[in-house]
Amino acid sequence: MAALGAGLAGCSSTPREPARVDYRSGSSYSPTAARTARAASPACSGGSYTVRSGDTLSEIAESCGVEMSALASTNRLSRPYTLRPGQTLSMPQPAVHVVQRGENLYRIGLRYDIPFQQLASHNGIPAPYELEIGQSIQLPRGATVAASASRPSTPTTSYRRPTQAPATQPTVQPVANAAVSFDWPIRGTVLSGFGRKPDGSRNDGINIAARTGDEVRAAAAGQVVYAGSELAGYGQLVLLRHDGGFVTAYAHNSRLMVREGDQVTRGQVIAAAGSSGTVEVAQVHFEIRRGVNPEDPMRHLR
């Protein structure tokens, strides 16, 4: 409707409304002159706009480059969006995420359901996409904040060689009523489990001991949505998207066997295990996420 209104406003053969009087100057109002004056001045700068006689919300939104609905919501305006000369409108600000300790672009993207490459491009962040604590990341318009977005997470894979590994591989019990089951990407001892650690860090997956060159297999059929080493800390990383809104991650590989866009089957070899990234021993960091939220892989592995 805003676009339609703007189009109709440009039709000089059908006057939108009679000329009005600018009470500040006593002169007659011209819609064309008002638009020209508005475009020629930095009225939209500084995060606010002062309403002029004859302004409409749709014209202000168009000239300031914001959505009319967002402008109305920010200023608590309801239809018919009546404005008064001299009124100050606050401009809707783009959504911003402030980087917390331990976050990286990949995890921020998962929280808002935005590909990290899009976040990097939107913010002019070059590879290897390094972030600083307190840095503001502008989110593309329309981004949806996930429920977990307010909970900062810390790195899960930058730990050192364990002093003592479990002697045997843990027994995995099937989970009743699990929505989806996944195969183990590799068989080995679990070096680090899912969840919060005593030091305050958090592991969003599990880390499985491996030997360099061991085959890493797809836990379920899906599509490769990322295959590369541009995310600091993860080394050679593969991300697969599965039915039901699930995503699995396989990190620290020594070599990748798939490319973005590939369709893979359950059990297909997708990488060779290694110690790339911020680990010192060969292993596979494995995550299962439902949407943006990490889930304990042990609940789904069979």
- The tally of CA atoms less than 13 A away on the side-chain side of residue 293 is 8
Contact predicate 252/157, CB 8 Å: yes
Q: Which of 50, 66, 90 is the last residue of a domain?
A: 90
**Containing structural domain, residue 122:** 96-150
Q: How confident is the model at residue 141 (pLDDT cuts 50, 70, 90)?
A: low
pLDDT in tens, 12-48: 333 333 333 333 333 333 444 444 444 444 466 567 8
pLDDT in tens, 188-216: 999 999 998 888 888 999 999 999 999 99
256 occurs within a structural domain: yes
Of 40-54, 150-164, 222-236, which has the strongest mean pLDDT? 222-236
Number of domains in the chain: 3
292/302 Cα distance (integer angstroms):
22
* Residue 79 sits in the same domain as residue 109: no
* Residue 84 sits in the same domain as residue 26: yes
241 occurs within a structural domain: yes
167 occurs within a structural domain: no
* Residue 243 sits in the same domain as residue 276: yes
Of 9-18, 42-51, 76-85, which has the strongest mean pLDDT? 76-85
Which two three-digit tokens encode residue 284?
A: 């596979």
Give the pLDDT of residue 143: 58
243/286 Cα distance (integer angstroms):
18
Q: Which of 90, 109, 129 is the last residue of a domain?
A: 90
235 occurs within a structural domain: yes
Give the pLDDT of residue 43: 63
* Residue 137 sits in the same domain as residue 213: no
Contact predicate 285/249, CB 8 Å: yes
181 occurs within a structural domain: no
177 occurs within a structural domain: no
* Residue 63 sits in the same domain as residue 36: yes
* Residue 123 sits in the same domain as residue 201: no
Q: Which of 90, 110, 142 is the last residue of a domain?
A: 90
Contact predicate 231/191, CB 8 Å: no
Q: Is this structure's pTM higher than 0.85?
A: no
> CATH number of the domain that 59 lies in?
3.10.350.10
Q: What is the DSSP string of 264-276?
A: E-TT-EEEEEB--
* Residue 196 sits in the same domain as residue 289: yes
3 state DSSP class of 18: coil
DSSP one-letter code for 99: P
73 occurs within a structural domain: yes
248 occurs within a structural domain: yes
> CATH number of the domain that 233 lies in?
2.70.70.10
* Residue 122 sits in the same domain as residue 73: no
CA-based nearest residue to 264, from 226, 208, 211, 236: 226
Q: Which string of b and e fits 84-99 if b means at least 16 CB within 10 Å? A: eeeeebebbeeeebeb
58/8 Cα distance (integer angstroms):
12
* Residue 198 sits in the same domain as residue 295: yes
